[in-house]
Amino acid sequence: MSKGSRRRKIRTSYDEPRVIILPKMLYEIIKRIIDIIGGTVILIVFSPVILITAIAIKLDSKGPIFADTPKRVGKDGKPFFPYKFRSMVINAHKLLHEDPRFKKLFQEYKKSSFKLHEDPRVTKVGKFIRKHSIDEIPQCINVLKGEMSIVGPRPYYPDELEEQTQKYPHTKKLLKDVMSVRPGITGYWQVSGRSEVNFDKRIELDAYYARKKSIILDILIMLKTPWAMISGKGAV
- Judge whether 236 lies within some domain: no
| Domain-embedded: residue 1 | no
Element spanning 149, H or E: strand 149-151
Amino acid 69 reads T
Q: Domain range for residue 181?
A: 7-231
- Whether 2 is covered by a domain: the verdict is no
Angstrom distance (rounded) from CA 53 to CA 59: 10
Domain total in the chain: 1
Is this model's pTM higher than 0.85 or not? no
Buried b (16+ CB within 10 A) or exposed e, 121-157: bbbebbebbbbebbbbbbbbebbeeebbbbbbbbbbb
Going residue by residue through the chain, which has 236 residues, state the pLDDT in tens, using 9 for 90 and above: 444 444 444 343 445 555 555 678 899 999 999 999 999 999 999 999 999 999 999 999 999 999 988 899 999 999 999 999 999 988 888 888 888 888 888 877 777 767 777 788 899 999 999 988 899 999 999 999 999 999 999 999 998 898 889 888 999 999 999 999 999 999 988 887 655 677 888 899 999 999 999 999 999 999 999 887 777 664 55
